[in-house]
């Protein structure tokens, strides 16, 4: 179980010894800013959290208008020393934040009654104002739709559709504003969540926590299109069944770090803990981007992983094609749990075989996932009674 976050590990590599010695003349601005009452675990570094929290949009405007909030009282000496250090640092950062905000006197139109749009409006202002902050994090809640996700009789409407509409409206207003401010080429945006959803609705017109979910990248340098294929969903799935993930979420983070933040491969291995893929999600024309050979298009429609027999009892042989380099074969059950890793190493270009022994595993569907370079495929297998 990790106690650090991917963004925190990245920022810790870039800015060693933080917060000691910061701000300074080279990096006078906050390393990361989150608009919210607490800083996300994603920004937690090995020693300290690498981000700074602005409680909410009102708190931001209080800061730039010179309205002060009183500090919370404490009797603990160590904690008080730390709070004073952070407070002093925050005051220094407050000066540069106010200076950046002051440079932007006019912004585009944002939707009203949309908390995500309120947060993104602040981010656009600070970016256009020249703040050097590397990472900004904003959030929109209420996606934990265990009940009332859709309207009965009109499932394309309801709470979930409204949330997606708010997200879409906020992101569009943000990107339009950045273009108007001449700062859109400085931004890549990404959505993510700490949970996915199940395949089938529950009895309360909602969906429960699941193991896989989509995410979106947006920005002038984002490669348009869809990575991954539409999953095959059987006619008899139940409320506990999950989709197997197609791409490890670390592969998306790693690709953004490499092709947008210019992080080297050896540093990436420390940050993302190996076994991630380099995905073609950032255009080659982006700063630091390097061309990723588009093997995925060349192999579209080709089965790279198969098994026989299928269905099976006892064991089955899994055949897979490697393009060369590192290959990973993982087995997941119908609930998305990893039940085994059959291959995790270098596989020369060509055909390879591994065996999956179902002993100790109950009957039902299983998924064999191949990860090889920028390629991935999932094979559905069935353990028979």
| Peptide linkage before 309 cis (omega within 30 of 0) | yes
What are 299-341's pLDDT values in tens digits?
556 789 999 999 999 999 999 999 898 999 999 998 888 999 9
pLDDT digits 0-9 by tens, 199-243: 998 999 999 999 889 999 999 999 999 998 888 888 888 888 888
6-14 and 249-259 are packed helices; what angle lies between their axes, rounded to 10 degrees? Answer: 30
- Kindly state the helix (H) or strand (E) to which residue 272 belongs, with its residue range: helix 265-272
Confidence of residue 88 (pLDDT cuts 50, 70, 90): low
Pairing of β 364-372 and β 338-346: unpaired
User: Following CA atoms 288, 291, 294, 295 in sequence, which dihedral angle do they give, to the nearest 10 degrees?
Assistant: -100
Q: What average pLDDT score do residues 42-57 get?
A: 90
Beta-strand runs (E) in 309-374: 315-322, 326-333, 338-346, 350-357, 364-372
Residue 1: Cβ within 10 Å count: 2
Q: What percent of the chain has pLDDT over 90?
A: 60
The shares of helix, strand and coil residues in the chain, as percent rounded to the nearest 5, are 30, 20, 50
Measured CA to CA, the distance from residue 282 to residue 221 in angstroms comes to: 6
Q: Which residues contact 267 (CB under 8 A, 6 or more apart)?
A: 13
What's the pTM value of the predicted model, to 2 decimals? 0.80
Going by the DSSP 8-state scheme, the letter that residue 43 receives in this structure is G
Q: How many helices (DSSP H) and strands (DSSP E) are in the chain?
A: 8, 14
Residues ≥6 apart with Cβ < 8 Å to 20? none
- Per-chain mean pLDDT for the chain: 88
Q: Is the peptide bond before 382 cis (omega within 30 degrees of 0)?
A: no
* CA atoms in the 13 A half-sphere facing the CB of 4: 17
DSSP secondary structure string for all residues of 212-257 = -----EESTTBPPS--S-PPP--TT--TT--PPPSS-HHHHHHHHH
Angle between helix 115-128 and 77-102 (nearest 10): 70
Domains of the chain, each with CATH number or no CATH: 1-139 (no CATH), 300-383 (2.60.40.3080)
- How high is the pLDDT of residue 288? 82
Most confident of 50-59, 83-92, 166-175: 166-175
Distances (CA, A) of 360 to 163, 337, 343, 364, 383: 42, 15, 20, 12, 11
Residue (of 344, 329, 328) closest to 381 by Cα position: 329
* Residue 261 neighbours by CB distance under 10 Å: 17
Check residue 117 and give its pLDDT. 97
């Amino acid at each position: 179980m990790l106690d650090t976050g991917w963004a925190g590990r990245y920022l810790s590599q870039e800015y060693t010894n933080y917060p000691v010695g910061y701000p300074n003349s080279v990096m006078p601005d906050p390393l990361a800013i989150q608009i919210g009452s607490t800083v996300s675990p994603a920004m937690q570094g090995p020693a300290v959290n690498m981000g700074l929290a602005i409680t909410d949009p009102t708190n931001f405007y209080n800061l730039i208008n010179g309205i002060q909030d009183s500090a919370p009282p404490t009797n603990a000496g160590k904690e008080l020393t730390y709070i004073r250090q952070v407070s002093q640092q925050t005051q220094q950062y407050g000066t540069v934040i106010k200076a950046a905000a002051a440079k932007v006197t006019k912004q585009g139109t944002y939707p009203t009654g949309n908390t995500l749009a309120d947060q993104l409006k602040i981010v656009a202002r600070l970016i256009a104002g020249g703040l050097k902050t590397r990472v900004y994090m904003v959030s929109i809640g209420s996606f934990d739709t265990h009940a009332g996700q859709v309207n009965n009789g009109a499932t394309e409407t309801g709470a979930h559709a409204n949330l997606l509409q708010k997200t879409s409206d906020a992101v569009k207003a943000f990107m339009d504003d950045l273009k108007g401010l001449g700062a859109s080429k400085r931004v890549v945006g990404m959505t993510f969540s700490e949970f996915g959803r199940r395949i089938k609705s529950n009895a309360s017109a909602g969906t429960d926590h699941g193991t896989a979910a989509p995410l979106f990248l947006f920005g002038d340098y984002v490669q348009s299109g869809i990575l991954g294929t539409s999953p095959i969903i059987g006619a008899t799935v139940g409320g506990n069944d999950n989709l197997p993930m197609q791409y490890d979420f670390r592969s998306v983070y790693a690709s953004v770090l490499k092709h947008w933040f210019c992080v080297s491969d050896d540093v990436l291995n420390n940050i993302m803990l190996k076994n991630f893929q380099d995905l073609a999600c950032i255009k080659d024309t982006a700063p630091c981007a390097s061309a990723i050979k588009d093997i995925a298009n060349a192999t579209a429609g080709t089965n790279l992983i198969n098994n026989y027999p299928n269905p099976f009892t006892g064991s089955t042989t899994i055949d897979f094609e490697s393009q060369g380099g590192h290959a990973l074969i993982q087995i997941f059950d119908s609930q998305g749990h990893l039940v085994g890793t059959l291959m995790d190493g270098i596989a020369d270009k060509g055909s390879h075989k591994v065996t999956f022994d179902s002993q100790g595993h109950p009957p039902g569907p299983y998924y064999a996932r191949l990860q090889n370079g920028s390629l991935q495929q999932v094979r559905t297998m069935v353990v028979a009674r």
